[in-house]
Structure 1
Amino acid sequence: MAPSYRSNAHGQRSCIAVTLTARCDSIGSGNGEPNARQSREGPASYFPSIEKTYGHPISHWQQIVRDGYPARHMELVSILKDAHGMGHGHANAVVAYTLAQDGLK
């Protein structure tokens, strides 16, 4: 899927409508070089933003997910969203990655 872009009121472009495995082109430089978000694919591509936004390492969030086992995927997402204020995309990425890592997905 090709990335879509939108411009905000300040003329800055941001990538929208990408899947967990899709990557946006380098925004701003226009040179096609990978940016920090492109260094990983899939759910892990969200990890730098999650750590910056919520102030904890991914291992912290993974432990919360594991403490919620044997709950189902969306129940685990709800735990991160409701009890910890995490956004849906970030919560979904942590849960998907953790379940896959633990062989449960």
Structure 2
Amino acid sequence: MLFMYSLVALSGVSLAVGIVRKKRPNVADETNEEISQYLKETGYWADEYRKAQSSYQRLQIELSHSIANFHRLSPAQQQAHSAALNELTAHVEQRKQRMQRAQQRYQELAY
């Protein structure tokens, strides 16, 4: 009788060890997948920030040149170009917000 109970206990332990061994690679794969996904996402937001920053800087320079040119125009020409200047200003502001969102998301992930 004692032999039978010890055999059942041994087979139960053996089964538990087998299950743990089978689960470990899955847990490791899941952890690797999470790490990989984290690295992809942080890389994406870092790239997005760099792209938005360079685009923002380019648009900011273009806006400053447009403003300088705008002041050289006659009043009639200024009136004609004011809508384009306002549109460019709005575009610069949108790009700035995009850059800030990307920077904020990257910092949330990285820190």
* TM-score, normalization by structure 2: 0.23
Higher helix share: 2
- Greater percentage in strand: 1
Relative contact order (C-alpha < 8 Å, sep 6+): which is higher? Answer: 2
Name the larger-Rg structure: 2
